[in-house]
Structure formats: structure tokens, C-alpha cells
Amino acid sequence: MDTGIIGAEDSIVPEIEYYMRRYFSMGDLFAVKLPEMEDAVLGKLQEQYAGSPIDLYYVNQAERIWHRVWSLRGEREKALRYFYSTMAFSTTLDTLHVHERYCPQLPWLSPWQPNGSGNGRVMEMILNSLYMLEDRTMKLLPCAPAEWLDPGKRIEVNRVATYLGELSFKVIRSSLDTMQVEAQLPDGIQAIDVTIVLKNGYAIRKVHMLYGEDHIRDGQDPEWKGTISGDKLHFPNPKRELKMRLQLSAEEGMA
């Protein structure tokens, strides 16, 4: 799955997940539990310090892969759970670094196990929460936490490099019922998907394209050629520069 030989939408993915959960150590918070410490002497020392048998988890490697796959499959709850668990158990806030092994019985070991490649994996998970480029489709906010788009907040990405060129975009929740999306896309993008998941039942109701004068017809801008499906906007053949205003509202009966 990491190499793309098996696509995220492949029907075998749920079978792989079931097999890993049933016969190996994959769980809701960690994807890999080590059977024992690789260094037997060090393992004994760790057990002595803990005063009991210890659990060892190899963190951020497999979680990174599953986070991306679940995000692309729309399995948001699973993806966010691995995102938050990685942020919690694979990072050390006092020394601001990432580690690959986590022992719940000996959390003080973590600052002594910095890992440079782990930094890259955590950064990749953050970037995959903000955008993914799949073939020629740009997916914005495929799995961003809803809290990132509370009223008054904004998400902004400036001149990030992709294999098609630079990408910049911003998503601004200016009020409870208004949001603005702006994007400067690289060449060759054939479609754009924007996922907007909000708290308290709020969702996208209307889209206004902001090119020149804002002429609205039947509640929709005549230049809007896309579709709204649940929490996702799909816009085929987009211009390189996009600017949209989204009208939001809560479903009836939601507070």
C-alpha cells in the first residue's frame, strides 16, 4: 500500500486490515507491537526499571501508511485516531523530537531515543492531512480535524512543492456560516476535491465562485460547475487560480 502497488480503494485493503488486527498486533492506537526488545540485555534492564513486563510499540511507520490509506478511503475516524495517537506517543514535547519506540511503562525513555526519519514521517502525516495529489486530482483537507476550521480559524499552505509544481491555498472560516477557499494550483490538475468537515452539524449548502462580479442564479454562481456530496466539493477542470465563498448552515435539529 505504501508503494502504490495496492491502491487505497482496492477491495483487498479491508481484508489486510482484518488480518493484521486478527493475527498480529494492529489496534486502534498502534499498528505494530514488538514481540520483545531487539537487544535482550537492554530488554532485561527495561523490565527491571519498570518492575514488570513491558510493552513496546514501533510507532509512526505503519501508522503513517494507514493514515493515508484511510484518509483516501473516507474512513476518517480511523485516520484521525492514528494521527492523534502518533502526535501523542511518537513525539516528545519537552525536547521537541520524534522517536520510533514507545513504552507506556517507561515513558521517560522517549527523550533518549530521537529519530530523524521519524520526523519526516510525522511531517508527512501532517501534510497528508492538508493535501494529497493523486494522479491529476488535488485533494485539499482530505482529513483535517474539524477543530482546525472552527469560526475565526484558517488553514493556509504557501508554495509547497508537488511533482506538478507549487501549490498554495487557504481556507478561512470567517463566520459561523461563511467560509472562503482560495487556491493557486500547479499545472496539469484535472480535478480538485475539497473536504470540509465541521462541528455541530454545519455543512456546505451553497458555493459562489468569486471571479469578477458575483452573479448568483438560483442560489448558485453560474461559473460553479462542480458538485457537493456530503462534506466534499468536487470541481472538474479547475482554473489554476480559484476563489470560492461557501455558505454554511446546520442541519435542522442540530445545535
Give the mean pLDDT of 140-161. 97
Is the model's pLDDT at 125 over the cut of 90?
Answer: yes
The region of weakest confidence among 10-19, 47-56, 215-224 is 215-224
Predicted model pTM: 0.89
How far CA 50 is from CA of 14, 46, 53, 108, in Å, comes to 37, 6, 7, 11
Q: Dig out the grid coordinates for 232 from the structure.
A: 466534499
Is the model's pLDDT at 217 over the cut of 70?
Answer: no
> What does the mean pLDDT of the chain come to?
90
Q: How do the domains of the chain map onto residue ranges?
A: 13-130, 135-250
Count the Cβ atoms, other than its own, within 10 Å of residue 228.
17
Q: Topology of domain 135-250, per CATH?
A: Immunoglobulin-like (2.60.40)
H helices within 96-168, ranges in order? 116-130
Rounded-to-integer distance, Cα 76 and Cα 82, Å: 10
